[in-house]
Amino acid sequence: MNGYKKSILLIIFLSFTMSCKISKNSETEPNNTFSNANQIEINKEITGYLESENDIDNYYLNIDEEQILKIELSGIKGVNHSINIFKNENSKPQLIKVIDDNRKSSSETFANLYVQSGQYIFTITHGSRDIKKGNIETPYKLLITSRSYLNEEKEPNDNPYSATEIGDKSQTMGYFSPAQNSLNNDPISRMKEIDWYKFNINISDNTPVLIDLKLSGVTGVDSVVSVLNSAMEEIINVDSAGTGEGEIITDFGIKESGIYYIQVSSKNFLFNHDTPYELQLDYKTYNQNSELELNNSFEKANIISNNIITGKINSPGDQDFYQFIPPFKNKYYKAGCSGVEGLDIIMTVYDNNRNKLFEINNSGPGGSETIPYFMIKNSVYFSVSASSLAASESQYTLAIEKFESNEVLEIEPNNSKNTANLFNNSITGFITYKNDIDYYLIKYEGRQKVKISVRGVKDGKIKISTTDQLGFIIKSKEIESDEEISFNEIFDKKGYIIVEPIVANFEFPYIITIEDL
Amino acid sequence: MHLNFKILCLIICISIFGCKTTEKETNRKIEGENNFFISIYDSDIDNPENDRRCYYMIYVDKIESGRTTTGLESQEKYFDTQLTSNRHLIKVEKWVLNESLGRYVKMNNIDQPKPDFIYINIDKDRIVKVKLKSSKSGTSSYSMTIE
Lowest mean pLDDT among A99-108, A161-170, A383-392, B21-30: B21-30
From chain B, the residues in CB contact with A447 under 8 A are 30, 69, 78
The answer to whether A472 faces chain B, any CB pair under 8 Å, is: yes
pLDDT tens per residue across span A302-346: 999 889 999 989 888 889 999 999 988 888 898 999 999 999 999
From chain A, the residues in CB contact with B70 under 8 A are 468-469, 472, 474, 492
CA neighbours closer than 13 Å in the CB half-sphere of residue A306? 8
Query: What pLDDT, on a 0 to 100 scale, did the predictor assign at position A7?
Result: 53
Query: What pLDDT, on a 0 to 100 scale, did the predictor assign at position B70?
Result: 94
Query: What pLDDT, on a 0 to 100 scale, did the predictor assign at position B7?
Result: 54
The answer to whether B31 faces chain A, any CB pair under 8 Å, is: yes
Give the residue on A whose Cα is nearest the Cα of B55: A474
pLDDT tens per residue across span A124-135: 999 887 788 888
Average pLDDT over residues A241-253: 88
Query: What pLDDT, on a 0 to 100 scale, did the predictor assign at position A198?
Result: 97
Task: Identify the sign of the CA torsion B104, B108, B113, B115.
Answer: positive
Query: What pLDDT, on a 0 to 100 scale, did the predictor assign at position A5?
Result: 57
Question: Quick one: CA torsion of A321, A325, A328, A333, rounded to 10 degrees?
Answer: 0
Mutation choice for B interface testing from A416, A421, A445 by most B CBs within 10 A? A445
> Are the C-beta atoms of A509 and A479 separated by less than 8 Å?
no
Lowest mean pLDDT among A13-27, A347-361, A378-392, B68-82: A13-27
CA distance B24 to chain A (A): 11
pLDDT tens per residue across span A14-25: 444 444 333 348
Give, as one character, the DSSP assignment of residue A244: T
Mutation choice for A interface testing from B22, B27, B80 by most A CBs within 10 A? B27
Report whether pLDDT(A8) > 70.
no
pLDDT tens per residue across span A456-494: 999 999 999 999 999 999 999 999 999 999 999 999 999
Q: Between residues 381 and 440 of chain A, which touch chain B (CB distance below 8 Å)?
A: 422, 424
> Are the C-beta atoms of A99 and A82 separated by less than 8 Å?
yes
Report whether pLDDT(B20) > 70.
no
Give the residue on B whose Cα is nearest the Cα of A465: B103
Average pLDDT over residues A85-104: 90
Report whether pLDDT(B22) > 50.
no
The answer to whether A378 faces chain B, any CB pair under 8 Å, is: no
% of residues, chain A, pLDDT over 90? 65
User: Which of B25, B29, B67 is facing A490, going by the closest CB pair?
Assistant: B67
Give, as one character, the DSSP assignment of residue A37: P
In the beta sheet, which residues pair with residue A61?
Answer: A120
Average pLDDT over residues A115-121: 95
CA distance A355 to chain B (A): 27
- Answer yes or no: do A488 and B67 touch at CB < 8 A: no
Query: What pLDDT, on a 0 to 100 scale, did the predictor assign at position A133?
Result: 84
Report whether pLDDT(B23) > 80.
no
CA A355 vs CA A258, A375, A487, B100: distances in Å: 36, 15, 37, 29
Q: How confident is the model at residue A6 (pLDDT cuts 50, 70, 90)?
A: low
Q: How confident is the model at residue A188 (pLDDT cuts 50, 70, 90)?
A: confident
Q: Between residues 81 and 120 of chain B, which touch chain A (CB distance below 8 Å)?
A: 95, 97, 99, 102-104
Q: How many residue pairs bridge chain A and chain B with CB atoms within 8 Å of each other? A: 53
- Answer yes or no: do A445 and B27 touch at CB < 8 A: yes
% of residues, chain B, pLDDT over 90? 59
> Are the C-beta atoms of A405 and A459 separated by less than 8 Å?
no
pLDDT tens per residue across span A155-175: 999 999 999 999 999 999 999
First to last CA, chain B: 38
CA A236 vs CA A222, A261, A284, A317, B79: distances in Å: 17, 11, 18, 12, 68
- Answer yes or no: do B29 and A422 touch at CB < 8 A: no
pLDDT tens per residue across span A55-67: 999 999 999 999 9
The answer to whether B70 faces chain A, any CB pair under 8 Å, is: yes
Query: What pLDDT, on a 0 to 100 scale, did the predictor assign at position B127?
Result: 92
User: Which of A444, A473, A492 is facing B27, going by the closest CB pair?
Assistant: A444
Report whether pLDDT(B27) > 80.
no
Per the prediction, chain A carries an average pLDDT of 89
